Structures are given as C-alpha cells and as structure tokens.
Amino acid sequence: MSKTSSLSKLKLAVGAALTVSATCGFAEINIIPKPNQVRELKGADFKLTSQTGIRFDEKVEAEAKLLAKSINKATGLKLRLVPEKARIRLQSEIHVDVVTGDEESYTLAVTPSKVQIKGGDVAGTFYGTQSLLQLIPLKGQPVLPGCQIKDQPRFGWRGMHLDVGRHFFPTENIKTFIDQLAVHKMNTFHWHLTEDQGWRIEIKKYPKLTEVGAWRKASPPYGDRWKQDGKRYGGFYTQKEIKEIVAYAKARHITVVPEIDMPGHMAAAIASYPELGNDDIPNYNPEVKTYWGIHPYTLAPKESTFKWIDDVLTEVCALFDSKYIHIGGDEAPKGQWKKSKFAQSVIKREGLHDEHDLQSYMIKRIEKMLEAKGRKLIGWDEIREGGLSPNATVMLWRGWNHAIKSVEEGHDVVMAPGSHTYFDHYQNKRSKELAKGLEFECIGGYRPLDSVYSFDPIPEQFQGTEKAKHILGCQAQLWSEYMHTWDKVEYCAFPRIAALAEVAWTEKENKQDFEEFSKRLEVMAVRYKNAGINAFDQSTFFVPKPLKGYKVSSSLKPHGDNQPMAVIDGDPQTFFWANSGPRKDDHIIVSFDKPKSGEKVIVKTGKASEYGDALENGVLEASKNGKDWKVVAEFEKGAAEAKLPSGTKAIRIRCTKNQNSWLQVQELDFIK
C-alpha cells in the first residue's frame, strides 16, 4: 500500500466528522484513559504563556524536558526549565515533582497561578505530565481547566503487541508507536520479532538468521491469501537499532518485551540453520515461508538446538531489560515430531507420554535458561499443553478457561483474548471496509470499538478475590499479515487503543458508559489527526439497527458482524449468525412496540450461506408481556411459522436441545 493509496488519503478525513464544537471548552476534562478521581475547579483556570516556567525535581529532569518539548509542539511556547535547587521565583509555573507513593500514581492540581504534578514514583510523574498535555485545548488560548486529579492504574501490565515478522516496519515507525503508547499511559510494548515468514532481530553469533531468515521470496497480496506477488521481501533490526528503541521506550516508561517464538513458528530460523529442525523426516526442505498460517517446521529437541536457543536468549537478554522474555509457544504442530525417530527417542528417554509432553519438556528447559539469566518466561496459553512450567506466566489468547485454570494453579496471567483484543480483526462491517478497496482487508473477525471498551480482564469468578491479583493486566494484538504498510497498522490500532487503555487504567467502577467515553474520544480523534495518525474514522462505523418499533436480544454471541438485530433490520441479505452451537434454552427474542394480532410470522434458519447451520431442535414462542411464553410452533427442517395470538408483544426462538453446529437466523417475515 503506497502513501497515495485510498487508505492514506483517508488521513485528510480522519476526525472530520468528529470535530469538537467550538474550541473544546476550557472546563472540559477530556483525558483518555479516564483518571480515577477528578474534581473540576470552576474559575481556577491556568494560562500557559511565554513567562511560564517548568520547575522540576532533579529525579524527574528527563520527564520535565519531555514535557517542555511536548508543550512547545502543541502550543509553540518555549517554556523555561528551572531546577528546584536553583530557587528562582516564578510567577507562573508548572511544578514537576516526585514523592514516595504508590507505583505509577500521580496527583495533578491546576490553579490560576500554578500547576502541580506529584508522582508516587518517576513513572507516576510522567503519567501526570501526559494528563496535563491532554488538558491543553485544541484551539484558541492554551488555558488549562482548573481541576484536581488523583490517579493510578488498575493494572500493572498495560500493553500493545506488534508483529513485525509478517511485515517489517522501520525504527521511525516504532518510535511513533511508542510515543502514542505513552500518550495512552500504556507501559508495555510486546515486540513480536520472529516468524515463519521472517526473522527480524540481529543475532551476532548466528548471522544467517538475518542473512537468510530475514528475507522471503514472495508474499500474498491483499485480496487473495493463496496468491503470491513474486517480490522479495524482508528486513531486520540491527542490535544498535534495538538498543535505541529500548532506550527510547524506557525514557517514556515503557518496557519492551521481546518475543522469540518457539518451538513452532520457526521456519525462518530453520531455513537459516537446517540442523535446528527435525532433519531426519522425509521430504525435509525448510524455507522462509511465503504464505500466512501455521506451518509444520518446529525445532528439534536436540542438545545442539538447546545450545542455539541459549545462545540466542543470551544476546536477547543483553539487548532488552525486560523482566519477561516471551517465548511464544503457540501453534506448534506436532506432525514432524511424530515422524522424527530422534524426537520419539527423546519422548521415550524422558518418560514422556506424547508430543504435547515433549513441548512442555522443551519449554521447561527454556524456562531454566531464562531463570539463569535472571528473567521470567511468558508465553501464549499453549504453553499449558503437557503441563505448565513451574514459574511461567501465561498470556491468554484463546478460551478464558486457560486463564482460569492458570490462576487457580497460582500462575500469573496477562489477558489478551481474541474475544476483545485482536486489532487485526475488522472494526467495521466487512463489506463496508472492502468497498473502499482491497487494502482494507483484514484477517477476519469483528472487533468494534464498543466491544474493546466492554472488556473486563478479570474473570467473573475472581472479581473481588485475592486470586484477582494474578491477572497482571491486558494487552491488544496487531498481527500484521494484512498490514502491509504503517498507515494500515495505524488504521487498525487507532482509536481502539484508546478503549483498551481505559480498560487497563481506569477502575471498573469509575468507567462510565460507552457514550461518555465516545464524547471524550471526539477530542482524542482530533489529536490523532493533528499528530498525523491514520486513525479509523469512528463516524463511519456501521451500526446495525432493527426496524423502528422492534427490539432484539439474544443469549447467543454473534460471529463477526452478523448481529442479532439482522433478523429484523429490513435487509434480506443480512442474517444473525451465532459464533457457537446453541445450548438448550439459548434464545433470540424479538419484541414489538405495538402488539400484533393475528399476523403470521415465518422464521427460517440455516442455508443463508454455504455453511448451513439450521436450528435442529427448537420452538417458536409468543408472549403478551415478555415474561410468560406460549409455544406456537415447532421447528421442522430449520423453519417454523405460526399465526400470532391477539396482543402478542414478543416472540422467542428457543433451542430445546444442545447442538454442535452454529446457528443462522434469516430475516423474519410478518404477513398480515
């Protein structure tokens, strides 16, 4: 996607429909993520002028300088920097200080003569400066609204992930991304550096990893993942560049967590050094993969391979100061181990039951390597297969049961579920996005902004219990198969990153409704535009609605953008599609503002697409009050029809027996 693509052209329109009336009133507090305690002080506004100075404690000198630089960029004002020990009198000042307090906490007080920021630690002071910057109005005089803020985060892990294995992005893009993580008070950048399609980190002891593994012969174009564009593609980060990125992030209180994915997703590494793989199997021919998806090449459980892993991790740990090193562990096919005589001999030698145990055996050895280097292992929830390593931290991306079981066993968990945090999914109706061009293609799925905002990382059974402390926090994922260029990464990340930031920072009881968040997001959307970020324009969001006078609810969750209201939206081309097989008593209820009397209703399920998914066992029920139900028809071959009793105010489609296949319900047909 070039910078002249239709996607890039949207930069001119981003936020156009979200512009803030007038100049964003001075009395408004439009901070994202929302502070946990805010008190507005009417008539106590503070005016930034060329006479304003920034007084700072020596411990937060770097944070004060970053603040001055940001204020200059936002207002054109070059504020004077004054160390506390200089004891120079300032008539107008921003005082940046640090006191002993809770980690990452801060207070911010805005009065007519002074702005005071006090952090519970240096990071807290930095977050106070980020809140101050969001108080600067978008237009007009740089006047900060009078207020008192007391704030600290709900979770200690507030992260964003970025996959550079499928597509590579230059260091200037990474720095831009880190800047925005800081704006949103995110503190973790999960950097996915290795993949089947490309190895992106220089390892000096093994130069072929980048000489060979960083380059592939071709890539799938937008529009057809099974085609190839025939163009050589690649790139990698030198160790000098990585150190630069880590230092840049650290200055903004962001920890970079590297991911070296193993034992699967290792085709690029094995293509570089074929002896790392299961080279005793038939048709062994490793190469850097040119297609997306899961590939069979896994590391062999040889001592020489473990030596290679240790060497790589030694260099990785020298580059990154993160307590955690992510080893992936996901989507590791077991086929090659089944065929490998050597792998089978290790299973027998170690008294393992199967290949799942072999994966656990490898990960436990890797954990010991990391512990010897003073680091902790974190991996995707597949690391549970065959038994979880003793001190491992789990990153949940699949069913929540993996998180629940891990917590119950005493393990820490970072919540990154596909149900809420995969930003490579569509954030709008698929057809609406693709109508703009093939470059708007996503991997699939449907993850609108309100879905992200509704996310609560703590499983229900742990709410208010001691076990909740094992939920370290949450993060969102940017898998880059369908993000060929940086403008597409931004399009997928923003503004959903704002919703996730508030989930991670703001206490549940202090969040208001989505509508209130959306009003604050209007201001942030303009800030994105001013920063040159190619954010998705939330005003173009497709909101499926039922016909006027109808309401729809369901106990079933939708697949993609096939929402329940599609059964009565007036469009015969749309349909509701549940994302799982319905259980007994799962239902869809359609209610009416005006009672129906003697009308015939026809309900058809399944066969709205090639997948079928009809209701196998169910009844159609009617109610005059939405509480008491009467069966008016049974489903036969996925369909039911009935004449509605006089005064019917609602109908219910109810499953009467568990079924494995998913369920589609087409447009309801009412005939007078």
pTM given for the model: 0.85
Give the model confidence (pLDDT) of 143-162 as tens digits.
999 999 999 999 999 999 99
Taking Cα atoms as reference points, which of 157, 156, 182, 178 lies closest to residue 169?
178
The whole-number pLDDT of residue 387 equals 87
**Per the structure block, which two tokens stand in for 140?**
């007009």
Give the model confidence (pLDDT) of 531-557 as tens digits.
999 999 988 876 667 889 999 999 998
Give the model confidence (pLDDT) of 561-613 as tens digits.
788 999 998 888 789 999 889 999 999 999 999 999 889 999 999 975 455 79
Give the model confidence (pLDDT) of 26-43 as tens digits.
347 999 999 999 999 998
First to last CA, the chain: 52
Distance CA 642, CA 184 (A): 54
Where in the chain is CATH 3.20.20.80? 157-513
Residues comprising the chain, all counted: 672
Average pLDDT of span 350-379 = 97
Per CATH, the number for 157-513 is: 3.20.20.80
Average pLDDT of span 641-657 = 95
pLDDT at 44 over 50: yes
pLDDT at 443 over 90: yes
Give the model confidence (pLDDT) of 203-217 as tens digits.
999 999 999 999 999
Where in the chain is CATH 3.30.379.10? 37-151
The identity of residue 546, as a single letter, is P
The whole-number pLDDT of residue 598 equals 86
pLDDT at 14 over 70: no
The whole-number pLDDT of residue 19 equals 33
Q: Where are the alpha helices (DSSP H) in 290-396?
A: 303-319, 335-339, 341-349, 355-372
Q: At the top level of CATH, which class does the domain 550-671 belong to?
A: mainly beta
Instruction: Let me know the angle formed at the C-alpha of 545 by 542 and 550, rounded to the nearest 5 degrees.
Output: 180
| % of the chain at pLDDT higher than 70 | 95
**Average pLDDT value for the chain:** 93
Tell whether omega for the bond before 558 is within 30 degrees of 0, i.e. cis.
Answer: no
Residue with tokens 């070296």: 260
37-151 CATH fold: Chitobiase; domain 2 (3.30.379)
* Residue 192 β-bridge partners: 163, 259
Where in the chain is CATH 2.60.120.260? 550-671
pLDDT at 121 over 80: yes
